[in-house]
Amino acid sequence: MKKILLVILSLVFITSLQAFDLGSLANSVTSSDKKENSLISSIMSTLGVSNAQAVGGVTALLSNATTKMSKEDVGTLKKEVPEVSSFLGDKSSTSSLLSSIASNSTVQEQFKALGLDADMVSKYTPIVLDYINSEAGESLMKIVKSAL
């Protein structure tokens, strides 16, 4: 479990072009006695993946999407869907080296690093989009969808 957590944390940091609260992510991955994030719970139950794979996959998708979204839209996403804020962060805090590394990594490669088949991206995507639609509405969901 520690190895998977380390891979997820390293992968997300290097490939997401975003800084995030490592404590929140680690807690969401490792806490079994705390209330789980409903998006993560939904992915785990629907796709039969581990908590770490659910968190890593959602982080990869949302991080990728937010690199293509305006700052205003990312801000709206964080405000309207606060539960996903732990997967998003401030893009300005990464170096140009990390930007270069991340631009050479795809979401499919990130999923493979999590031990997931690349085709799982297409299974995660509608769950994430449905969640955003239910929490923030169709308009914001369409913005995220166009960025994925």
Confidence (pLDDT) at 35: 41
Unique residue bearing structure tokens 């770490």: 52
Higher-scoring residue by pLDDT: 2, 139: 139
Confidence (pLDDT) at 3: 52
Contact 62, 68 (CB under 8 A): no
Confidence (pLDDT) at 63: 87
Higher-scoring residue by pLDDT: 40, 18: 40
Look at the alpha carbons of 51, 143, 123, 60 in this order and tell me if their dihedral is positive or negative.
negative
Q: Which of the four pLDDT bands, split at 50, 70 and 90, describes residue 37?
A: confident
* Rounded mean pLDDT, 124-138: 95
Q: Which of the four pLDDT bands, split at 50, 70 and 90, describes residue 29?
A: very low
From residue 35, how far is each of 8, 10, 24, 70 by CA, in Å?
A: 21, 25, 13, 31
Q: Is the pLDDT of residue 1 over 70?
A: no
Q: How far apart are CA 95 and CA 18, in angstroms?
A: 10
Q: Which of 35, 25, 34 is nearest to 60 (CA)?
A: 25
**pTM score > 0.85 for this model?**
no
Q: Which of the four pLDDT bands, split at 50, 70 and 90, describes residue 133?
A: very high
Domain ranges within the chain, ordered by starting residue:
2-147
Rama region for 17: left / alpha / beta (φ>0; ψ in -120 to 50; rest): left
- Write the pLDDT tens digit of every residue in 107-125: 888 898 889 998 999 999 9
Least confident of 54-58, 79-83, 102-106: 102-106
Confidence (pLDDT) at 45: 96
